[in-house]
Amino acid sequence: MSLQDKFIDLVTSEKIEDFLSKDSLVCFSFTSEIDSWQTLAEYDGWKLQINPKNGICRVVDSHIIRKVSSSVKKIEELIESYM
């Protein structure tokens, strides 16, 4: 199963709220020319993105509010733990 498929399953299964509770900091994420976020997976406004400059991943909702940020490996492990 691809990361995209796992992300869709996470969002549609309503387990996304449990996933998000792993991170206590929720804040707006503003995208600028300096930021170069690439989308790894997307569904219904939710995006799993990576910044190739520093390797940090984030999950943002449809309002571009960052819900979780961590390494790609940690995000993938968290997704796997909820699947």
Mean pLDDT comparison of 12-16, 18-22, 51-55, 65-69, highest-scoring range: 51-55
Q: Find tokens 């300096």 and name the residue.
A: 34
Q: How many CA atoms lie within 13 A of 41 on its CB side?
A: 19
Confidence tier at 83 by pLDDT (50, 70, 90): low
- Distance between CA atoms of 44 and 28, rounded to whole angstroms? 18
Give the pTM. 0.69
